[in-house]
Amino acid sequence: MYTLQYERVIQAPPDVVWAVISDVERYAEYAPNLSKAVKTSDSTTPTRTCWDTDGRSWNEACVMWEEGEGYAYLVDTTPGDYPYPVTQLKGTWTMQPRQDGVLVTMRFDMTFKYPVPIAWLLFRLGARGFYKTIAELMDNWEAEMLKRARLRRAA
């Protein structure tokens, strides 16, 4: 199992941070590698379907939802056109209020389709692109959070 994790402290109220990171249907508006995300159930653990910018789609099942704290999705990697070389992928998004802001963490645990030497190489090569994509997503999230916080203060 391989893990990629990205963290950022954001200077916004915790409820604003949660409102943005938990809006799973708007995720594609912030993620540069996605074109669309559609919630396919309205339960306390909402499922969704995501499309990448090349039009490939996959389903994700919410396996953990802790209101105001975090959630996790297990990705169905079985579709033939699934864009990443993994057999298992779990994404976890959490937030933790601190003195200096709110710590937002994105963690992805994955198992590659290939044996260890190839998997290690794919992991090393993919990590660069992952961090670039996630940094851009976090930039977009943070801009939205700060905008909402400013609007709240102005009201």
The overall pTM is greater than 0.85: yes
* Dihedral, CA of residue 101, residue 10, residue 8 and residue 142, to nearest 10: 170
Each residue's pLDDT tens digit, 38-86: 999 887 788 899 999 999 999 999 999 999 999 999 999 998 888 878 8
pLDDT at 118: 67
Q: What is the mean pLDDT of the chain?
A: 90
- For the stretch 93-117, pLDDT in tens is 999 999 999 999 999 998 887 776 6
Residues paired with 7 in a beta bridge? 105
CATH for the stretch 2-154: 3.30.530.20
> Which residue ranges make up each domain of the chain?
2-154
Q: What is the C-alpha radius of gyration for the chain, rounded to an integer number of angstroms? A: 16
Query: Counting Cβ atoms within 10 Å, is residue 79 exposed (0-12), middle (13-18) or buried (19+)?
Result: exposed
Q: Which of 31, 97, 27 is nearest to 62 (CA)?
A: 27
